[in-house]
Each structure stands twice: as C-alpha cells, then as structure tokens.
Amino acid sequence: MKKKELRKVYKLKRKNLSDTEIANLEQNIYAQVSKIDFSNYKNIHIFLPIEKLNEINTYPIIGFLRKQKKTIIISKSDFKTNTLQHFIFDKSTTLEINTYGIPEPMNAQQIDVKKIDMVFVPLLISDQQNYRVGYGKGFYDRFLSECKKEVVSIGLNFFQPIDNISDCNQYDIPLNHIIVPK
C-alpha cells in the first residue's frame, strides 16, 4: 500500500483502540524500552503525545529516562518550513498545546541537533525495512537527516510492521529499531 492509504487506515485503527487496549499496548512498549541499555546515550529526544490522536503516552518513558539521569529533548514545530527546533525538557519547562494538539515547550533552552544521541520517533505504521508512515509533512525525515550519522532512531508503534510501504523515496530515512507490542 501507499503512504496516503496507510495513513488513513492506521489513523482509523488507532482511533478505534479502546482505552484498555491502549493501556495494555503501552505497558508492553514501556517494558521493552526499560530493557534498552542507555549507558552510551546522554541526550535523548522524544516526542510528546498528541492525545486526541491516541498517540503513545511517552511521559512514563520520560520519567524513566530522567531517573537514568538523561537529558530529555523535545521539539517545537515550524509549520511554515515543516521543520523542528529542539529544546531541553526539564522539570521547569512549561508546555502549551499548539493548534494541531502537539504539546510544545514555551520556556526551554534550545539545543543543537548534532548533540542528540537517540531519537524516539512517532509513527502510524512501519514496514519490515523500518521505513515509517507519519502524518505526511516530513518533519522527522528532515530532522533525522540533520542528526549526526551515529544517532540511534527508535520508532514506537501499537501495530506490527507491514511487509512493505510501496512509495518510499530518497527522502525517507529508515529507523534503526521499531518497538511494537509483543
């Protein structure tokens, strides 16, 4: 299937998950994240969930990473250029929900993209080659292309990867790992 069709199918699938199903899927994902060896990663970027779209609640992962003494980095979206700016997310950071439902930092210190060691990436669906379908604006592909080459990218998803996304192109960047419920 093509990205546009996959986007439509998996937005609907995610929307139709019950609160109980989401909680169970998230617990499975959290358990897998807790087994990752984070010792070589200091600055970890993570997305904040768009609640109205039933995205994975990443706040428990953030709490876990803070206990590991990691620097948490979140983004602010620029919808004119479809790019992200990155900021340190600490206990004093104030969040504001933008018009798309994305929580964004209001009073945080900006950080250079080249200092990011690991990125947790949102997605709707991925394939066996670790390519992903997001919301279609290319924010994360642009972001990952700016990162240092050794950055580790991990997608978090409720759904098992499909065989193939048929219309990937040279701008699509495969992730290093995808975590889905077992």
Residue 49: per-residue pLDDT: 97
Indicate the number of domains in the chain. 1
Q: Which two tokens stand for residue 105?
A: 């930092």
pLDDT at 171 over 90: no
123 by Cβ neighbours in 10 Å (0-12 / 13-18 / 19+) ranks as buried
pLDDT at 45 over 90: yes
Mean pLDDT of all residues in the chain? 96
Between CA 25 and CA 18 the distance in angstroms is 11
Between CA 180 and CA 74 the distance in angstroms is 22
Residue 170: per-residue pLDDT: 87
Identify the domain containing residue 61 by its residue range.
3-179
Q: What is the pTM for the complete model shown?
A: 0.95
Read off the pLDDT band of 39 (50, 70, 90).
very high
Residue among 153, 93, 83 at smallest CA distance from 117: 153
CATH number, position 102: 3.40.50.10420
Half-sphere exposure of 26 (CA within 13 A, CB side): 17
Instruction: Provide the 10 A C-beta neighbour count for residue 62.
Output: 18
Between CA 126 and CA 16 the distance in angstroms is 19
pLDDT tens figures, 55-76: 999 999 999 999 999 999 999 9
Residue 110: per-residue pLDDT: 97
